[in-house]
């Protein structure tokens, strides 16, 4: 299966991705995770992206399209993939269509993580992540066994620099202005499934499974 997950910051894309990935043996391509890794490693790409990400704005289409183009060539991504956080502009969606056309494939489903903005601040400001694995926790909704410590490795957890209430405002603005049109783009192709993303994680998983079965 070739899937796209679209939703505002904190809607649960990164939480559901590993579950979908394991169940369908897909590769998980999250542009945000790849960009954060580039920033941490101070690669040329990371140096360009850092400031834009910290402001909660979108990095340039060319840059992310390049990342995705490279990543999709991996053998593990040939049978199917989950795109998490890409495409985020109509221009990115058009570029993706071109790439898939060349391979003779297309997107099977777009999962639309629909949720009210008002719920997102609590989700974002309470999020803690294990940087190297991407495992995600929440102080209230998904607490680690020991506060601030990863359950699996025992390593410390961290918070993302853009996970503040102030930066969330810009991220939501970018979502409504630049990414919501992408949902319309795929609605016209008839491949969008709308999910009740405000429900608890396990219930969202059940809805995802219904859509994909």
Provide the binding-site residues for ligand AP5, judged by CB under 6 A. 7, 9-15, 31-32, 35, 52-53, 56-59, 64, 85-86, 88, 92, 123, 126-127, 136-138, 141-142, 171, 199-201, 204
- Of 36, 50, 88, 95, the catalytic one is 88
In the complex, residue closest to ligand AP5 by CB: 32
Mapping DSSP onto H, E and C, the string for the chain reads: CEEEEECCCCCCHHHHHHHHHHHHCCEEEEHHHHHHHHHHCCCHHHHHHHHHHHHCCCCCHHHHHHHHHHHHCCHHHCCCEEEECCCCCHHHHHHHHHHHHHHCCCCCEEEEEECCHHHHHHHHHCEEECCCCCCEEECCCECCCCCCECCCCCCECECCCCCCHHHHHHHHHHHHHHHHHHHHHHHCCCCEEEEECCCCHHHHHHHHHHHHC
Q: How far is the CB of 207 from Zn ion (least distance, A)?
A: 18
Nearer to ligand AP5, 62 or 155 (CB): 62
Nearer to ligand AP5, 33 or 75 (CB): 33
- Of 21, 109, 160, 194, the catalytic one is 160
Q: How far is the CB of 101 from Zn ion (least distance, A)?
A: 27
Q: Is 13 a catalytic residue?
A: yes
Q: Is 177 a catalytic residue?
A: no
Q: Is 127 a catalytic residue?
A: yes
Point out which residues bind Zn ion (CB under 5 A). Answer: 14
From the list ligand AP5, Zn ion, none, partner contacted by residue 56 (C-beta under 5 to 8 A by kind): ligand AP5
User: What residues are labeled active site?
Assistant: 13, 88, 127, 160, 171
């Amino acid at each position: 299966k070739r899937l796209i997950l679209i939703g505002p910051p904190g809607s649960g894309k990164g939480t559901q991705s590993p579950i979908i990935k394991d169940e369908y043996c897909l590769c998980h391509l999250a542009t945000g995770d790849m960009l954060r890794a580039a920033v941490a490693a101070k690669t040329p790409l990371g140096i360009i992206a850092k400031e834009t990400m910290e402001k909660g704005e979108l990095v340039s289409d060319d840059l992310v399209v390049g990342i995705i183009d490279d990543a999709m060539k991996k053998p593990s991504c040939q049978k199917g993939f989950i795109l998490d956080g890409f495409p985020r502009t109509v221009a990115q969606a058009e570029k993706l269509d071109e790439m898939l056309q060349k391979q003779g494939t297309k997107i099977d489903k777009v999962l639309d993580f629909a949720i009210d903005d008002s719920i997102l601040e609590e989700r974002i400001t309470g999020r803690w992540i294990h940087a190297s694995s991407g495992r995600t926790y929440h102080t209230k909704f998904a607490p680690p066994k020991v506060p601030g410590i990863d359950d699996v490795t025992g390593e410390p957890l961290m918070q993302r620099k853009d996970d503040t209430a102030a930066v969330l405002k810009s991220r939501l603005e970018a979502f409504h202005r630049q990414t919501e049109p992408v949902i319309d783009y795929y609605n016209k192709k008839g491949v969008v499934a709308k999910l009740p993303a405000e429900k608890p994680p396990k219930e969202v998983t059940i809805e995802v499974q219904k859509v994909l079965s």
